[in-house]
Amino acid sequence: MPWPMPALLVWGAAWSVFIVATRWLQMSPVIALLLAAGLAITFSLRGETRWRRLLIAWGFPLSLGVSGVVGDVPAWPWLLPLLLLAVLYPVQAWRDAPLFPTPAQALKGLARLAPLPAGARLLDAGCGLGDGLIELRREYPHAQLTGLEWSWPLRFACAWRARFATVRRADMWAADWSDCDLVYLFQRPESMPRAAQKAARELKAGAWMASLEFRVPELRPTKVLNCDDGRQVWLYRAPFAKR
């Protein structure tokens, strides 16, 4: 959907939940606030950028506060949406990539450029809600897929969505990549040099590092996959070649 339609829809849904909970179900304003804010924060995880996620998450609580509808609600419940957002996506994970979901069909053609045998080990480093694992499975249906995610709630959500994969709560930077045939990343530009250094140290010869959208300026890509939506997947095969 074009922006800001996702935000407007989520705000409208949150307001609907709040009104139904308070007027029809006779719930307390505090409980209704928490339910509606939880809905908004959950859907905010699908936002494409950090600012859009924040706008989606906080649009409803802020508009509710400005409206004056809940003047009798104490101050402390307003901190709970922020706490929930911090639990869902801790600060350490924000320093890497604030939940960039892999778009559908973004990896179409990856198996053609980076062929792997059946049973190959693939790792989604920072798997979030599992979109990357789902796309990797489309390309490598007979591979062994593993996802690493630092956030406990996202780890459980990913494990439920990607039941075909092994999903662990772990720090992607501390995990061992040495047994992987392909490591998939959808991070951010600032994270890529660190990822490349780790991959260069740990990946065995012939293994791949695939980065959606963000390249490593210091390395020469082995291959580049041009996606249908204009994005690119930068493929580096160990041992890496410097520019």
Domain ranges of the chain: 5-88, 110-242
- In single-letter form, the type of residue at position 14 comes to A
- Put simply, whether the predicted model's pTM sits higher than 0.75 gets the answer no
pLDDT of 223 over the 70 cut: yes
Domain 110-242: what homologous superfamily?
Vaccinia Virus protein VP39 (3.40.50.150)
Place of tokens 């956030």: 151
pLDDT in tens, 28-77: 877 888 888 888 878 877 776 666 777 787 777 777 776 666 555 555 55
Quote the pLDDT of residue 124.
Answer: 97
